[in-house]
Homo-oligomer: A and B are copies of this chain.
């Protein structure tokens, strides 16, 4: 329906973020223990991992009796696609509009502003 191959749900995102952050293949158990702000049962983490595998966002290698999961999609790519999506959905595809909105909303810290200026060699 969309231009995206697959959608990652909120809960699935928590899972793949763990895989991104840890940056080495992990068992479902490890993922479960590492997820932040969640009190998931083991099978919940496991279900989410399976769904991510179905969607092609995650894969695994077998090790002993368990699977070692790792992300297929890259964090940067995902972030960029989500960001592009937001810009096109809400800001008429204009990054400028987004920037203006953030600026006006006072969402930029002095540090942000400093860094952004630097980015533009100013």
Q: Which residues of A contact B (CB under 8 A)?
A: 13, 76, 78-80, 82-84, 86-87, 89-91, 94-96, 98-103, 105, 107-109, 111-113, 115-117, 119-120, 122
Contacts and interface: CB of A to CB of B under 8 A. Distances in A.
A107 B80 contact: yes
Contacts of A76: 101
A85 to B, nearest CB: 9
Contacts of A100: 115, 119
A79 B83 contact: no
B83 A98 contact: yes
Contacts of A111: 96
A91 to B, nearest CB: 7
A93 to B, nearest CB: 10
Contact of A116 (B13, B84, B86, B99): B99
